[in-house]
Each structure stands twice: as structure tokens, then as C-alpha cells.
Structure 1
Amino acid sequence: MRTLLALGALAATLAAPGPVPPPAPGPAPLPARMADTGGGTQLITAVAGDTAATTGTLTWWDRRGGRWVRTGSAPARFGAKGLAEGERRRQGTNTTPTGLYDLPYAFGIEPAPAGTAYRYARVTDRSWWCQDNDARAYNRWVEGLPRDCRAAEAEHLVTYETQYAHALVVGFNYDRPVRGRGAGIFLHVNGPGATAGCVSVPKDAMRRILAWADPARRPHIAVGTRGGPTAITRY
């Protein structure tokens, strides 16, 4: 009888499941794999498959408890000619500059979405973005077109009713502008197709981003590809 009981106990022990191993860790979130995130606790990443792509994914992240957490995501559009390394980009090429950039301020034709913390400039019929390489206001918003900024070399912001309903200025070539590198790079609402060099997202996503972004948390935007010389992890 004892032998039968012992055998039964042994069989039960052999049949009982062992401890479940912990799941294998997944890949670290994208910001954790980047060389630099700008030093803040908010980040936007815009990733294309390669430099010829005109579409990709934009994701916004929060740093919480020492780790990066994905907060939202949306399909993104890039320049009609794809992407180009920011430091070597040339103006008028319809390419989106890759790199890591700050976000100086927001603007729009429509009122700021509820909860917007960024300084938000309302577009008027006198609002222009000067892209004239010979102008003192190169790569700057101006109210009223200066004499040295040709209208053919500037964007009359109010005429882009759809795209500039809401936008964030991307700090590409902004602090110390290099003439000929490019001007007027924004994160804005989708137009009818690829952009002239900006990054664009659907309007509802742009509104969510503006309600989320907090300048006190120093958000930046990183633009790049999944791999290669312009891989987003390089920035």
C-alpha cells in the first residue's frame, strides 16, 4: 500500500507544472536606443523606412519613472523627395531634414486646441515665413513682408488653410540659420499629399500633440530612418 501511495505521489509531482519562466524582455523603447533625446522628458519621433520614403510613423513619448513610455502615435508624411541628412540638406529639394531638433513655438490659423501650453501664434493675413536667402529675416515669421524678402521666396501662411490649421515650428536651421540649407520646417496638419520638407500628421493627431506637449518638459523632435546613415538611433 505504501508503495502505491509513493508511486502516486511521485506521479503527481512529475505531472505538476514547474515554475513559469519570466517572459523574455522585449526591445527597449526607441528613445532608450537613441544617442540623444534632447535632455527633456518628452520626445516626438518621426521614422521613415528609408530616405526615399514619403510616409512613416510619428510617435510621442513621455519619460516616467526613469523609462520612456509611448503616449500616442499617428501615420506621418515626409517630403515629396524623401529625407536628407539635416546638416547637408539644401533648400528647395523637397526633402525632410533628419536630426534632433527643439520645438520653439506653435502657431495656427485656427485657435489653439484646449490644453495647449506652448506659446501659440495666431496666423493673420499679414503673416509670412521668410525663406529668402538674401533677407535679414531668413527662416523667421514676419508680420508684414519686409522689403528685402521677396514674396516669391516666402510663404504667406494664411493661404495654407488646411496644413497650417495647427503647427509646431521645428528648430531645423533656426538658431543660427545657414543660408541655403532650408527654412520653414514645421510639424503640421496633413495636406493633399507629401510635404515640401515638413513632417505632417492627421489633424486630430496634431491637436492631441499640442494638448500634450509641455515646453517646461523640453520636448524635441527626432526625424530619421529605421537604419543606415540617417538612422534615428544616431541622433
Structure 2
Amino acid sequence: MTKDIEAPPPAADASTTAPVHHTPLPVHHIPLPVLMADTGGGEQLITARAPTTRSTTGTVQWWQRHNGRWRQAGWAPARFGAGGLTEGSTRVQGTSTTPTGLYDLPFAFGTTPPPPGTAVPYRRAGADSWWCEDNASASYNRWVAPLPPDCAAGESERLADYPTQYARALVIGFNYHRPVHGRGAGIFLHVNGKGATAGCVSVPAGAMARILSWIRPSAHPHIALDTAYGPTALARY
């Protein structure tokens, strides 16, 4: 599978079938950003955490730093890749895995207008808006409009074909600035579809709108994708 689109989950295990609780998260724990080696240097951070690398569900939290202290600004249940999570630097395209690591958020896009208060650059996706995922293309892992001749449609996503998932989305800077062909393309934070993703992180539509209204480019926001334990745990980023 070459596209990062909604995909059915793999065979169930304890880490993928645990129910998501909608009660407020505990506030007495140490804020996750405090445990990180690097938060990207900005004043805003999104953390997307799964219990283990086999998990397809977890939690997204967004954090604001004020006077040197991190405070949680919101949270939502999250979905991850149908193949679980894997170290971003060694990820292979087509594995339906979510790449762990710390990434910037280059811009937002959507098939619908941005929510009120959106300050991050936002592109409207139309009929000719594509995300090139063709490893043979010079436009690999880039928004293109229209699709260039060297980028095969069968190896790419026409964004308007996914009006639910891409109603609103944030581009995650995985493999974006200096793309390594074959590592993966089109990794986004977007609205939930029917199930696990093919590598993206997804949240309910309301949470996606709140995140876009909250983010400020001047705060240099980043996103950390991680697991609670093991070599892909957040503390290493």
C-alpha cells in the first residue's frame, strides 16, 4: 500500500482494543513536555501518544508554555496507523505505520474553510489538489496542483477524494523538508475516518477545529509522535 489513507485495523490485540475514556485526564501528572529532551524550542506543542508500537489508538494533547511552564490546553482521543507505530528515521512507505519523532507543522489544509481564529497558513483543497506520493517524482511528498506529469495518480492522493478525513488537516513535517524516497509521504494530523489510518494521526472533527484555532505560527509549534514506553517513548525526543 503506497498511500497514507484510512485503512482497516490489523488483527486485534489488547493494546488496540482498549476503550478510549472521555473523562478528563489527570492533572497531577508531570506535563509530558517536561519529560522531553527537545520540544522544538517553541511555545506550543502537540503530543500524540500510543501505549505501544502495536497500538492503533491513544491520546493527543496540546500544550502551551507560559513563563517557562507547560500547561495542557486540550486533549482528544486519537487514532494511529493500522500497522502501529515505528521509528520515523527508519520507516518504510506502505507499512501503514505512524512515524515516531518530533516534527514541525508546515501548514494546514482542508476541503472546508478553516475554523474561526485560524492563524496557521491554510490551503483549500480543490479538485486539482493532490499530495504526490510517487517515489519516482521530483514532487515526492509535496502538495501539487495540478498533478505533474512525473507523478502517477495511482501513487498519490487527490485530497478532495477524502472529504471527511481532509475536511481539515495539519501537515506533519515527517520526511518533508529533505524527503527520502521510500520513507513515506502524506503524514497528517486530520479528522477521523472509519478506523485506523495508514500512517497519519486522526482526531474527532471538533478537536481538529480547536487545534487549528489554537495554533499560532509565532509560537513555533511542533508535534511529537511517540509511545508510552520503549525505544520510541517521548523522553528520547
TM-score calculated relative to the size of structure 2: 0.88
Q: State the Cα deviation string for residues 60-103 of structure 1 (Å, max 9, x = none).
A: 00001211000000000000010000001000000000000000
Equivalent of residue 93 in structure 2, options 91, 97, 107: 91
**Corresponding letter in the other structure for 2:147:** L
Q: Which residue of 2 aligns with 1:62?
A: 64
Equivalent of residue 196 in structure 2, options 176, 188, 194: 194
Q: Which residue of 2 aligns with 1:211?
A: 213
Specify every segment of 5 or more residues in structure 1 that has no aligned partner in the other structure, as ranges.
1-25
CA–CA distance in structure 1, aligned partners of residues 149 and 68 of structure 2: 51
Question: Is 1:224 aligned to 2:226, yes or no?
Answer: yes
CA–CA distance in structure 1, aligned partners of residues 207 and 83 of structure 2: 24
Shift of 1:27: 4.2
Q: Return the index of the structure with the highest Cα Rg.
A: 1
CA–CA distance in structure 1, aligned partners of residues 30 and 62 of structure 2: 15
Q: Which residue of 2 aligns with 1:134?
A: 136
CA–CA distance in structure 2, aligned partners of residues 91 and 206 of structure 1: 25
Question: Is 1:233 aligned to 2:232, yes or no?
Answer: no
SS of residue in 2 equivalent to 1:168: strand
CA–CA distance in structure 1, aligned partners of residues 209 and 127 of structure 2: 22
Equivalent of residue 33 in structure 1, options 32, 35, 48: 35
Question: Is 1:184 aligned to 2:170, yes or no?
Answer: no
Contact persistence 2:35–2:234 (CA under 8 A): no
SS of residue in 2 equivalent to 1:207: helix
Contact persistence 2:63–2:74 (CA under 8 A): yes
Shift of 1:194: 0.2
TM-score calculated relative to the size of structure 1: 0.89
Task: Give me the CA root mean square deviation.
Answer: 0.6
CA–CA distance in structure 1, aligned partners of residues 181 and 196 of structure 2: 24
Contact persistence 2:53–2:227 (CA under 8 A): yes
CA–CA distance in structure 2, aligned partners of residues 159 and 232 of structure 1: 33
Q: State the Cα deviation string for residues 6-38 of structure 1 (Å, max 9, x = none).
A: xxxxxxxxxxxxxxxxxxxx5421100101000
Specify every segment of 5 or more residues in structure 2 that has no aligned partner in the other structure, as ranges.
1-27
**Corresponding letter in the other structure for 2:227:** T
CA–CA distance in structure 2, aligned partners of residues 74 and 29 of structure 1: 16
Contact persistence 2:228–2:234 (CA under 8 A): yes
